[in-house]
């Protein structure tokens, strides 16, 4: 969502697994919901970006076997370069 609580469709989500260098991608739907599925267990760096908003980074997300993680993000308005 943005700071007013409105959904942000088309946001890009990247989950980087630093141990392997593999990056898993997803995009938020019209309701602002996204799913990055079938991630191997391990530690991830998650980045959410959308033109016109500041990027948001979650530097440490640990996934273990059989778990689901939920990251609710609020993107602030900003320039494309941020």
Q: pLDDT tens digits for 46-82?
A: 999 999 999 999 999 999 998 888 899 999 998 655 4
Indicate if the pLDDT at residue 2 is higher than 60. Answer: yes
Lowest mean pLDDT among 14-18, 23-27, 65-69: 65-69
The predicted model gives 16-39 an average pLDDT of 94
pLDDT (0 to 100) of residue 80: 54
Rg (CA), the chain: 13
- Supply the DSSP string of 17-53, one letter for each residue: ETTTTEEEEEE--TTS-----SPPSEEEEEEEE-TTB
> What pLDDT does 55 receive?
95
Distance (Å, whole) CA 24 – CA 28: 14
């Amino acid at each position: 969502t943005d700071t007013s609580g409105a959904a942000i469709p088309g946001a890009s989500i990247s989950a980087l697994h630093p141990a392997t260098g593999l990056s898993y991608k997803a995009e938020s739907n019209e309701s602002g919901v996204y799913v990055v599925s079938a991630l191997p267990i391990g530690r991830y760096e998650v980045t959410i970006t959308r033109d016109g908003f500041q990027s948001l980074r979650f530097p440490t997300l640990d996934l273990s076997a059989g778990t689901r993680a939920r990251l609710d993000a609020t993107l602030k308005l900003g320039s494309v370069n941020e």
